[in-house]
């Protein structure tokens, strides 16, 4: 082989930008970004309705998040459920009767008279062996008694199941948004930060679920990580949508420090 061969020199090219995209690409990217933004807003609404009132008070609070993962060590799993994610399936007066029964020690004698008719009306459609769902069976006192014990929050098994789904699913959404956002014309440091931030926020948020299971103070980390994820996605989506339709190519004038 010739020892004096010349290395191939790659031609200098500028990065591709949104104004280089075809109309079809712009429509595709815009549609995905709008749907992703709408899905995130729906997710926020779902989280609010799921966590709201877990601590017995209206509105979403740090205490609601802490009780979901750490539990209410002075209460029961059933009480937390009917005050939180299952609150919409039961009337206020019926919930009061169940809570009163739980506070009295969940005696078997009062179950058939006070609690079972409410559960039969509101809950056993899903909470029964016939439903095939992996949830407590409320058709008998023994099944209800399993969740009439001290509330230690969501189980580690459930956390592991939900966390791997979120890591795969939300990670792919972050990838999709990031692949579109890479066409944005921004200072390098800002584009790199906004590209990396969602992935850091997702990892931190899910890691904080397990930490909050151990100590409720980490509920603040969940809120901060979720806020950073929302902020970074909002900036990526809004900047991308603006530049897709309004950014125009200008004549180059010297070197620019852009990503």
Q: How far apart are the first and last CA of the chain?
A: 39
- Summarize pLDDT for 108-161 with one digit per residue, the tens: 888 888 899 998 888 988 888 888 787 888 888 888 888 887 777 888 898 999
Task: Give the C-alpha separation, 115 to 100, whole Å.
Answer: 10
Taking alpha carbons only, the member of 149, 148, 140 closest to residue 112 is 140
Residue boundaries of the structural domains of the chain: 20-51+154-246, 75-145
Q: Cα angle vertex 197, ends 194, 200, to 5°?
A: 165
Stated pTM of the model: 0.69
Task: Give the C-alpha separation, 259 to 246, whole Å.
Answer: 19
Beta pairing partners, 258: 187
DSSP conformation letters of 17-47: -GGGS-HHHHHHHHHHHHHHHHHHHHHHHHH
- Summarize pLDDT for 21-46 with one digit per residue, the tens: 999 999 999 999 999 999 999 999 98
């Amino acid at each position: 082989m010739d020892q004096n061969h010349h290395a191939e020199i790659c031609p200098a090219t500028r990065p591709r930008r949104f104004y280089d995209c075809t109309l079809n690409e712009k429509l595709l990217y815009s549609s995905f970004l709008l749907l992703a933004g709408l899905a995130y807003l729906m997710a926020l609404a779902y989280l609010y309705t799921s966590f709201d009132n877990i601590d017995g008070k209206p509105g979403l609070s740090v205490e609601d998040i802490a009780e979901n993962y750490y539990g209410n060590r002075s209460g029961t799993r059933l009480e937390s459920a009917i005050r939180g994610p299952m609150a919409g399936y039961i009337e206020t007066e019926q919930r009061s009767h169940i809570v009163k029964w739980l506070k009295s020690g969940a005696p078997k004698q009062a179950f058939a008279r006070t609690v079972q008719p409410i559960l039969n009306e509101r809950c056993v459609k899903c909470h029964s062996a016939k439903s095939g769902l992996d949830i407590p069976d409320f058709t008998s006192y023994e099944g209800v008694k399993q969740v009439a014990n001290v509330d230690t929050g969501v189980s580690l098994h459930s956390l592991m199941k939900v966390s791997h789904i979120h890591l795969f699913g939300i990670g792919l959404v972050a990838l999709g948004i990031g692949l579109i956002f890479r066409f944005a014309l921004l200072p390098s440091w800002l584009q790199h930060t906004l590209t990396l931030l969602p992935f850091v926020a997702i990892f931190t948020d899910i890691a904080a679920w397990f930490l909050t299971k151990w100590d409720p103070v980490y509920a603040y980390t969940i809120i901060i990580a979720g806020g950073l994820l929302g902020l970074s996605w909002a900036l990526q989506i809004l900047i991308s949508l603006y530049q897709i339709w309004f950014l125009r190519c200008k004549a180059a004038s010297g070197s620019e420090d852009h990503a």
